Structure 1
């Protein structure tokens, strides 16, 4: 598998079309039963809104660096306004159609001690007239995209999906469908459909044996005019089935926390990887690994390129290749992590020759939060600070080594002359929750500390491991 293709994830220009929803979560503790009815009383302490349905598919694509827009129907109401704000925060372009006669679909969940107590669905199914509005809008914008992904949640906005797919294929675009209809011929012309096992059986698929599954799937895609089926099979993994080939991918054995949204992650990852230039077999392999990662998270979660490529390295028995987030994309990734409620830790240094002291220090820094950002002095900055013989290793190589550490999530270079060789300006851009520095500094001596404290963050000073320093390593090399 060519991991260098991960550098081209932003090549994806995808339009997601389908049933968009607002997922609302009310979190709280439950310690008693209501005197009014035999139900738990939940004292709500946190409210959380997330993009749901087709919007969650778009969110998954955005978190994988794909360029994505969302076409669907919302109401002229508070839920619709909230959803549009969420899309903006997630860097999803909105092609949403607002309707005064129809509410935004909203699903409200009460969560206590990581368990869902109840779900309230506020929704009305869309009509063919609503679907016609989407078809008209799709006709106007389809030329702007390379891939069109239909996310069908059986709410009616895709009632005219046959005409939609015909329109997209006539524009010579790639079509992927996450289906809900029992009659898969509705998706005629699609390049890929991604039914789960129950949807496959509801559509007439047979599952008596592997050969029966293969023959049945091929019969369906032949009769329905579909190019390929990615059949998701829960604990049995996935199967990519075409008229001529079948590839099986075993489930990634992980502790399952929540399967919510796993199908969204699969089709989103498949789309982005295809757009980056991966062959279908490799793209499905990556999508399978992404599903294994996302089911270990609570709620409709997403995966990011960094964690996906780390998992790929383990899965491929460590190829020696490590994906390094392009420096220009890191700030967007940090913003997405903050939106997900993750704690951002920042530290900085030259890290010219990585040694045990660095590794221990970075692990300690990462343990303070969810994500660790390392500001890395560029080559010119190190030369000014350490002398003309430094750095020993150039910026790109130092960044690659740091990125390969499990404790490091992102690396960002700094040290332009106008920054005076301090990370103060970069710290203001990142705006971390925790600033960490190693050595015997006091807080008032640490660049950026005043800013972080003013934003409500905190500053931590860690001790270096005695006897470990790049200068000592270089001195020892020279004496030998």
Structure 2
């Protein structure tokens, strides 16, 4: 379990929006033709794909940029394109997604495209349009100058290498030296087998095959490869090396030790773009001051989300946060949130199609009557919010001797219940403003209320929600418990 997960989630929700990252590398377009396969062609032993629709998505370094912007960051991407229609299409897509692009046009080279034909959820064929080889010295200098002029305003830099001719040793070293001088993390997603061009980076992020080729070891023995990785950390003056190990997880390798973040078992549909997601989450985590050990665990969670998708699809922030919330549910203090934090969590839940239930009360001296209402409320949806009156509010309602238990303790006890997903404290006479802020799908009260007397009922019904009155356990109330204790 991640320590300080509530603080990490708060930073993801709010802090990542203020991070600015530079991505330099091989930009391309991933095109898809989607269809269904029901027979084999009589002309040749190949499947016949019945066309349904087509789509396109930024690929390569542009997909890294897409992952970053979907996680909330401000992003600038730099790379080579051709002077063609695909360049215009790529520029349009990234601009529409809020990414700033500084493409260097090379007239003799087309914009790189990968066309995939998918039958059902199975990739049947890939057709690449590209021209490999070095660009002119003039084009290379334009790319270096464009990159260097933006480094000082960024919180981290990513070099996304797909071996298409962008990240030459001269380009890599110019950018790495500038980032180091600026004191910001620089991460490399490598393709070259010669890691010397990446020397001085904060980290290099190879997969097992890339690590094997770079080390010159034709082996799948993980211990042997990670031993070689430890030597690379010293040899290339890295802070650490981050190795993605497929179903085994992610290894963080330092010169004197290594750490493994194990992956959870997943149903894998497509690993396309998973490495882009890993490097994006690592970069944002390091740019936010998180330790590399925490960063690889977050990246592991994010990779698990994208491999369950078909095609090169960036992770969405709400998907990432939803994948983290099972761990969050085990930490009671993490469920106690402010109104603003609650509104963001509700937005996340609703983006995931979850039904949000709201109930409120003083909940002073928690008893079986309270528990019954909470459990019944939870059964009406996917997420339950419990709003409690502040100490001042309880005193106004119940008298100067109340509450018996202060608001922080009441909130923490409620948060420890498995049925509860969030607890918040309100100081207003009624929870009406809170209801407006979270717009629940269901509002629940217990006892002798009726829909006409429930605060917020009319408002919830106005946006299509419902009001439910659930029965309480007779003979149980905080007032009776106090009287009994006095007797």
TM-score by length of 1: 0.72
Q: How far is 1:142 from its partner?
A: 1.9
Q: What is the match of residue 387 of structure 2?
A: 376
What is the aligned partner in structure 1 of residue 279 from structure 2? 267
Partner residue of 2:157? Answer: 148
Q: 1:373 to 1:294 in 2, by over 3 A?
A: farther
Shift of 1:197: 0.5
| Cα distance in structure 2, aligned partners of 1:327 and 1:251 | 34
Match of 1:15 in 2: 21
Which position in structure 2 is the counterpart of 1:69?
75
Question: Separation in 2 of the partners of 1:388 and 1:346?
Answer: 31
C-alpha distance in 1, partners of 2:405/2:111?
A: 55
In the superposition, relative to structure 1, how do residues 108 and 2 fare at CA in structure 2: closer, same or farther (>3 Å)? Answer: same
Give secondary structure in 1 for the equivalent of 2:293: helix
Give 1:281's aligned residue.
293
Contact 1:346 1:374 in 2 (8 A): yes
Match of 1:203 in 2: 214
SS in 1 for 2:334: coil
Task: Tell me which of 300, 315, 320 is aligned to 1:301.
Answer: 315
Distance of 1:269 and 1:124 partners within structure 2 = 28
Report how far residue 41 of structure 1 moved. Answer: 3.0
Q: Which runs of 5+ in 1 are unaligned?
A: 88-93
Change (3 A) 1:475 1:80: farther
CA-atom RMSD in angstroms: 4.7
Q: Does 1:165 align with 2:166?
A: no
Asked if structure 2 preserves the Cα contact closer than 8 Å seen for 1:34 and 1:41, the reply is no
C-alpha distance in 2 between matches for 1:54 and 1:399: 45
2:387 aligned counterpart, secondary structure: strand
Q: How far does residue 80 in structure 1 lie from its aligned partner after superposition?
A: 3.4
Whole-angstrom CA distance in 1 between matches of 2:341 and 2:409: 18
Which position in structure 1 is the counterpart of 2:253? 241
Q: Determine if the alignment matches structure 1 residue 459 to structure 2 residue 459.
A: no
Judging changes above 3 Å, is the alpha-carbon distance between structure 1 residues 312 and 331 closer, same or farther for their aligned structure 2 residues? Answer: closer
Distance 1:321 1:40, change over 3 A: same
In structure 1, the partner of 2:360 is: 349
1:177 Cα deviation (Å)?
Answer: 1.7
What is the aligned partner in structure 2 of residue 91 from structure 1? Answer: none
C-alpha contact 1:109 1:116 (8 A) present in aligned 2: no
Query: Separation in 2 of the partners of 1:342 and 1:48?
Result: 24
Distance 1:451-1:465 versus aligned 2 partners, 3 A rule:
closer
| Greater Rg over alpha carbons, structure | 2
1:308 to partner: Cα distance? 2.3
The equivalent residue for 1:90 is none
1:252 match: secondary structure: coil
| Equivalent in the alignment of 2:376 | 361
User: Does residue 213 of structure 1 match 2:225?
Assistant: yes
Distance 1:300 1:72 in 2: 18
Which residue number corresponds to residue 101 of structure 2? 96
Cα deviation 1:283-306 (Å, max 9, x = unaligned): 434444554565456654355456
Which one of the candidate residues 199, 209, 215 is aligned to 1:188?
199
- Measure the CA separation in 2 of the matches of 1:216 and 1:133: 36
Aligned residues: 452
Distance 1:282 1:17 in 2: 22
Question: What is the CA-CA distance between 1:245 and the residue it aligns to?
Answer: 1.7
Distance 1:109 1:468 in 2: 64
Question: 2:4 is matched with which residue?
Answer: 3
**Residues 358-416 of structure 1: CA deviation (Å, up to 9, x unaligned):** 4423532433xxxx373735525555555555555555555555666666555565554
Instruction: Give 1:216-231 correspondences, 5 Å limit.
Output: 216-231=228-243
Unaligned 5+ runs, structure 2: none
Change (3 A) 1:208 1:153: closer
2 CA distance for matches of 1:50 and 1:352?
A: 50
* C-alpha displacement of 1:255: 4.5
Q: CA deviation at 1:196?
A: 0.7
Aligned counterparts of 2:89 and 2:246: Cα–Cα separation in 1 = 36
Deviation of the 1:474 alpha carbon: 5.2
Q: Any idea what the Cα deviations from partners look like across 1:250-299, whole Å, max 9, x if unmatched?
A: 33344545544433343344344444544433443444455456545665
Cα pair 2:157 2:283 within 8 Å, conserved: no
CA shift digits 1:27-70 (9 cap, x unpaired): 78x596699995243555xx9887755455456556767x5433
